[in-house]
Amino acid sequence: MTGQLTVFFEDRIIARGSREAVTRTIEQGWPNDQGAVRAFDDESGRSVDLDLWDAGRDSTDRAEVQRGRGRPRLGVTAREITLLPRQWEWLAGQPGGASATIRRLVDAARKERRDPAAARDSVYRFLTTMAGDRPGYEEALRALYRGDSERFRTLIAGWPADVRDYADDLMKPVAA
């Protein structure tokens, strides 16, 4: 999971960003209609549950609840890696240090080499949740899995703009 989310209220995008940022936006802007809010992971297309009750808590309360080593709130997991001395030297000379450099390299590799099948599956997961009852849904999925991006875009052209555009964004690694 990338950590970046896109949140819809009905068929409209209302927030984009980190889990914490979008949760705060929802808490402040949609206090009575939170049931119609749906969040999606921008890489996997999976529906994401947000802890809306936690967003309104004072940040000092959250700090007490989220104790631990490192940066668990950010999802950072400490693990050991083994490198040759020349690799450690190179990492030490990079801006931000070894950990930041490794994170950047991993993120860049994930973006560049994203498996087209995984991207299609991301689109499928999103559309199943947001567009399963839309006209042309099943034919659009067939076009998606055939790799016919032009037909796919034609079939979803009449759908709400934010739903259509987000599906298209998820599909870009497939079409490229």
Residue 27 or residue 139, greater confidence: 139
The mean pLDDT of 34-49, rounded to a whole number, is: 87
Instruction: Provide the whole-model pTM.
Output: 0.67
Residues contacting residue 96 through CB under 8 Å, at least 6 positions apart: 104
Q: Please, what's the b/e burial string for 78-87 (b: 16 or more CB within 10 A of its CB; e: otherwise)?
A: eeeeeeeeee
Distance of CA 48 to the CA centre of its chain: 9
The mean pLDDT of 99-115, rounded to a whole number, is: 75
Interstrand relation of 47-48 and 4-9 (parallel, antiparallel or unpaired): unpaired
Residue listed under structure tokens 């399963």? 132
The mean pLDDT of 58-79, rounded to a whole number, is: 55
The domain locations on the chain are 4-60, 79-113, 116-175
Task: Taking each helix axis as running N to C, give the angle between helix 137-146 and helix 149-156, from 0 to 180 degrees, rounded to the nearest 10.
Answer: 160
* pLDDT tens-digit readout, 146-157: 999 999 999 999
